[in-house]
């Protein structure tokens, strides 16, 4: 039972344009969402998070949007840079239960 889904295994975006990565979840108990970035042979690096009391959180070039009614969140990266090429994982948890449930990841490739 995949409670967190990233339906796009890969995405290619021109340098300087906006990258939009999507994530859907099925468990309505989730109230904290995170995005991680992962390079090969390294561990995931925390990017940005959002709690269910918000619908948007911004940090520099990264913005996460949460649509609770649709159980959908997205990560916007603008402008996209070559160093953004990596696998991006969406993760979720619920208050009082600290384990993270991860999606399967989206491989983002930024084309120079």
Is 1 among the residues that bind another protein (CB under 8 A)?
Answer: no
Subset of residues 40 to 79 that bind another protein, contact rule: CB under 8 A: 41-46, 49, 51
SS3 content of the chain, % helix, strand, coil (to 5): 5, 60, 40
Candidate ranges 11-19, 35-43, 65-73, 78-86; the one touching another protein (CB under 8 A) = 35-43
Size of the site for another protein (CB under 8 A): 27
Is 85 among the residues that bind another protein (CB under 8 A)?
Answer: no
Q: What is the DSSP string of 34-88?
A: EEEEE-TTS--EEEEEEETT-SEEEETTEEEEEETTTTEEEEEESS--GGG-EEE
Q: Which residues bind another protein (CB under 8 A)?
A: 4, 31-32, 34, 36, 41-46, 49, 51, 89, 91, 93, 95-105
């Amino acid at each position: 039972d995949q409670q967190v889904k990233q339906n796009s295994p890969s995405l290619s975006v021109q340098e300087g344009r906006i990258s939009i990565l999507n994530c859907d979840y099925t468990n309505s108990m989730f109230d904290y969402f995170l995005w991680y970035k992962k390079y090969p042979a390294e561990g995931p690096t925390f990017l940005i998070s959002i709690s269910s009391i918000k619908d948007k959180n911004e940090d520099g070039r990264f913005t996460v949007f949460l649509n609770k009614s649709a159980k959908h969140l997205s990560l916007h990266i603008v402008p996209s840079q070559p160093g953004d090429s990596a696998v991006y994982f969406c993760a979720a948890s619920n208050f009082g239960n600290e384990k993270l449930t991860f999606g399967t990841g989206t491989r983002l490739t930024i084309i120079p």
